[in-house]
Amino acid sequence: MCGIVGYTGYRDAFPVVIKGLKRLEYRGYDSAGIALHNKGLHVYKNMGKIERLIENIDGKDLAGHTGIGHTRWATHGEPNDKNAHPHLSASGKLAMIHNGIIENYSQLKQELLQKGYLFKSDTDTEVLLNFIDEIKENNHCSLEEAVRIALKRVTGAYVILLIDQDAPDTILAARKGSPLVIGVGKGEHFLGSDASPMLEFTKDVVYVNDYELAIISPDKLVLKNLGNEILTPYVQKLDLELSAIEKGGFDHFMLKEIFEQPHTIYDCLRGRLNTQKNKITLSGIEQYAKEICNANRIIMVACGTSWHAGLTAEYFFEECCRTNVEVEYASEFRYRNPIITPGDVIIAISQSGETADTLVAIENAKAKGAIILGVVNVVGSSIARISHAGAYTHAGPEIGVASTKAFTAQLTVLSMIALKIAQLKGTLSSDRINRLLVELEDIPGKVQQILNNTSTIQSIAKKYANTRDFLYLGRGINFPVALEGALKLKEVSYIHAEGYPAAEMKHGPIALVDDQLPVVFIATKDSYFEKVISNMQEVKARKGKVIAVVSEGDQRAVTLSESVITVPVCDEMLAPLLTVVPLQLFAYYIGVERGCDVDKPRNLAKSVTVE
């Protein structure tokens, strides 16, 4: 979390940095700030979003060709003006921004307090900055040397960008555990938490690794490790267009991303699925085919929506591959001392590829000999790089904080992996596999059919927009969809919503049912249909208001429901790829109806790089 941007070159730094920050606002928006080098350091910052910063600095002198900027997701210290980044060192000579957490900050702070340092903020960042400042002043060494010494004492995660009053065109950057990309231009360099701030300027980028330090001036990029050895930067070409990160005529990124799903699912299948030859090509996964087929068990590790993709995949994998599957919250798994043996295969699922808990969970499992496969969206991200192999989801940049298209892309990749293993292991008849491959190919068209008729969903959303609580129920493979539907609603509308297995409702949530409670059922025609119908009746008997997602042509669920959303018929195993779409739209329309900032819900961040 937190977005960082930097620029040094011949352009004015301010517009480049501000534009970059706006693109990274999905990473946090508790406060925003910028530091410019213009015959000295000038820092402007405040609580709230970037728009507020722009209003506040109207009329100020914003000249300068070197600058750094920050958009914050608060960890240490509440969101307010004084805790906003950049921070200025006690000497006033250094300005710094930081993404991450300095775990031993209180110890370092004690040391500095004893030396007479005073702090203006409650942040761990200001502690690290003054720690660097103190080393620099006392040892009379260069900033680079001081940073190197300081970082050897630091535990935690960081990307830091520093500018020094005495070095007008230089930015010093260092990384451990949080993402940092450097864009290489002609006579200019860009820095960002991801590549979006530099997209219109350069396609040449360097992904900085942990324990690396970069000294960047307009014409020069020097990369070193903490041992002061010079490294050769690996410059890669970005495969990303500007249009992919703009709203393209939609009111919100979330809506744009929901509507992109026919294309993103298609892109995910493209070149991998060949229904003529009944073939799936997933080269990364195929390298480890033997290990996956012989795995003792497959453990899916993820957070948030990606965890729901893992839960859904458990159904695919058990059905298709007859392998034991466990699905773990990365944040629990990493601290539980789980029993991992070399025959285990871990599938890490992550849109950003940077989620701290998922990253550490797989690092631990890798150290214990497990094979790590990544199902990741952001190319070149930390999880992608640490995995032995994997398959990218190719959903393109997802900017809306609530995940939508990344989820369906994850489901698409995971179902292909499951079918590939089933082919290799012979655990599902080839007839069934081939039918599923054809069904998979038809999914983008069916998602498009749902998107062609959103007016019903919109009017149901309007009707229920002022409700206090919601219950989402589903069974079998649609149970994780109920969880995801409830999560989407909570995230973007702040309405309390709970997802539950429909049958389990009797053991608790049924106590909530009265004539005020809307209950969303996923009641498509599948092997659980009759059971779900019974659960609907139980809710109806208690006067609950049933909203149902049903299969085209169905009448039984319809007669029990107050509001109905129809999805095309498809094989039960792939149904979540369809049933989740109306629930995403439903949450979106309710959020908009309630005047919520659906792209940037309060307190959330897209990329959670703190544990």
Chain positions contacting ligand G6P, by CB under 6 A: 303-306, 350-352, 355, 358, 401-403, 604, 606-608
Residue nearest to ligand G6P as judged by C-beta position: 304
Kindly report the number of other CB atoms within 10 A of residue 451's CB atom: 17
Kindly report the number of other CB atoms within 10 A of residue 326's CB atom: 15
Q: Report the residue number, 108 or 383, with the smaller CB distance to ligand G6P.
A: 383
Q: Report the residue number, 590 or 604, with the smaller CB distance to ligand G6P.
A: 604
508: left (phi over 0), alpha (psi -120 to 50) or beta: left
97: phi then psi, degrees, rounded to nearest 5: -120, 155
Residue whose tokens read 């070095």:
167
251 touches 400 (CB < 8 A): no
DSSP string, 308-351: HHHHHHHHHHHHHH--EEEEEEHHHHTTS-----TT-EEEEEES
Q: How far is the CB of 391 from ligand G6P (least distance, A)?
A: 15
Q: Report the residue number, 74 or 151, with the smaller CB distance to ligand G6P.
A: 74
Q: How far is the CB of 377 from ligand G6P (least distance, A)?
A: 7
Secondary element (H or E) of residue 367:
helix 356-367
Q: How far is the CB of 547 from ligand G6P (least distance, A)?
A: 23
- Alpha carbon dihedral 12, 16, 22, 28, in 10-degree steps, equals -90
Q: Report the residue number, 73 or 266, with the smaller CB distance to ligand G6P.
A: 73
Angle subtended at Cα 31 by Cα 247 and Cα 28, rounded to the nearest 5 degrees: 50
Q: Report the residue number, 89 or 193, with the smaller CB distance to ligand G6P.
A: 193
- Comparing C-alpha atoms, which of 404, 439, 444 is closest to residue 419? 439
Q: How far is the CB of 358 from ligand G6P (least distance, A)?
A: 5
Q: Report the residue number, 376 or 502, with the smaller CB distance to ligand G6P.
A: 376
For residue 597, the number of C-alpha atoms closer than 13 Å in the C-beta half-sphere is: 11
Q: What pairing do the DSSP bridges indicate for beta strands 3-8 and 204-207? A: unpaired
Choosing from 22, 405, 545, 606, which is the catalytic residue? 606
397: phi then psi, degrees, rounded to nearest 5: -60, 135
In whole angstroms, give the CA distance from residue 397 to residue 257: 9
In whole angstroms, give the CA distance from residue 389 to residue 387: 5
Q: How far is the CB of 63 from ligand G6P (least distance, A)?
A: 37
Q: How far is the CB of 606 from ligand G6P (least distance, A)?
A: 5
In whole angstroms, give the CA distance from residue 395 to residue 376: 10
Q: How far is the CB of 135 from ligand G6P (least distance, A)?
A: 35
In whole angstroms, give the CA distance from residue 289 to residue 381: 23
Q: Report the residue number, 351 or 551, with the smaller CB distance to ligand G6P.
A: 351
- Cα separations (Å) of 539 from 220, 252, 480, 531? 67, 35, 20, 13
Q: How far is the CB of 602 from ligand G6P (least distance, A)?
A: 12
Q: How far is the CB of 363 from ligand G6P (least distance, A)?
A: 15
Residue whose tokens read 């749902």:
450
520 touches 471 (CB < 8 A): yes
Q: Report the residue number, 130 or 607, with the smaller CB distance to ligand G6P.
A: 607
Active-site annotation holds for 303: no
- Comparing C-alpha atoms, which of 180, 59, 24 is closest to residue 605? 24
Q: Report the residue number, 178 or 351, with the smaller CB distance to ligand G6P.
A: 351
In whole angstroms, give the CA distance from residue 44 to residue 69: 9
67 touches 36 (CB < 8 A): yes
Q: Report the residue number, 133 or 257, with the smaller CB distance to ligand G6P.
A: 257
Secondary element (H or E) of residue 244:
none
Q: Report the residue number, 351 or 364, with the smaller CB distance to ligand G6P.
A: 351
Choosing from 2, 303, 321, 596, which is the catalytic residue? 2
Q: How far is the CB of 382 from ligand G6P (least distance, A)?
A: 11
Active-site annotation holds for 2: yes
DSSP string, 65-99: SEEEEEEE--SSS-SSTTTSSPEE-TTSSEEEEEE
Q: What contacts 24+ positions apart, CB below 8 Å, involve 250-253?
A: 251/592, 252/400, 252/588, 252/592, 252/598, 252/599, 253/399, 253/400, 253/599
C-alpha R_g of the chain? 25
Q: How far is the CB of 395 from ligand G6P (least distance, A)?
A: 11
Q: Which residues are catalytic?
A: 2, 606
